[in-house]
Amino acid sequence: MEEAARRAPPARPIWIVARHQTAGRGRGGKAWQHPQGNFAATWLSPVDRSPAEVSLTSFTAALAVYDALGAYVAPERLSLKWPNDVLLDGHKVAGILLESSGFGQGMRWLAVGVGINLLEAPHPRALPDGAIPPISLAEAGAGATPPLTPEVMLGLLAVTLEAYLKLWREAGFDTIRRLWLGRAARLGAKIRVALPHETLSGRFQTVDADGCLVLQMAEGPRRISAGEVFLHQEGGTYAFVY
Domain ranges in the chain?
2-181, 190-241
CATH class for the domain made up of 190-241: mainly beta
Cα–Cα dist 94/154, whole Å: 14
pLDDT bucket at 132, cuts 50 / 70 / 90: confident
Residue 152 has pLDDT above 80, yes or no: yes
Q: Which of 105-114, 162-171, 227-236 has the lowest average pLDDT?
A: 227-236
Q: What local confidence, expressed as pLDDT, does residue 238 receive?
A: 45
Transcribe 174-237 into DSSP letters. HHHHHHHHTTBTTTTSEEEEE-SS-EEEEEEEEE-TTS-EEEEETTEEEEESS-EEEEEETTEE
* Residue pair 200/217 in contact by the 8 Å Cβ criterion: yes
Q: What local confidence, expressed as pLDDT, does residue 123 receive?
A: 75
Residue 125 has pLDDT above 70, yes or no: no
Q: What would the pLDDT profile of 4-23 be if each residue is shown by its tens digit?
A: 999 999 999 999 999 887 76
Residue 27 has pLDDT above 60, yes or no: no
Residue 129 has pLDDT above 60, yes or no: no
Average pLDDT, the chain: 88
Among 178, 191, 187, residue whose Cα is nearest residue 63 = 178
Mean pLDDT, to the nearest integer, of 122-147? 81
Transcribe 121-176 into DSSP letters. PPPGGGSPTTBPPB--TTTTT--SSS---HHHHHHHHHHHHHHHHHHHHHH-HHHH
Give the pairing type, strands 78-81 and 85-88. antiparallel
Residues with Cβ within 8 Å of 108's Cβ and at least 6 positions away in sequence, in order, are 8, 9, 46, 47, 48, 100, 101, 102
Q: What would the pLDDT profile of 88-100 be if each residue is shown by its tens digit?
A: 999 999 999 999 9
CA 32, 70, 215 angle in degrees (round to 5)? 65
Mean pLDDT, to the nearest integer, of 13-37? 74
Mean pLDDT, to the nearest integer, of 10-37? 76
**CATH architecture under which domain 2-181 falls:** 2-Layer Sandwich (3.30)
pLDDT bucket at 25, cuts 50 / 70 / 90: low
The upper half-sphere exposure of residue 229, i.e. CA atoms within 13 Å in the direction of its Cβ, equals 25
pLDDT bucket at 242, cuts 50 / 70 / 90: very low
pLDDT bucket at 26, cuts 50 / 70 / 90: low
Cis before 150? omega within 30? no
Query: How far is residue 86 from each of residues 50, 69, 149, 238, measured CA to CA in Å?
Result: 26, 9, 18, 14
Q: What percent of the chain has pLDDT over 70?
A: 86
H or E, element range at 91:
strand 91-103
Mean pLDDT, to the nearest integer, of 95-106? 84
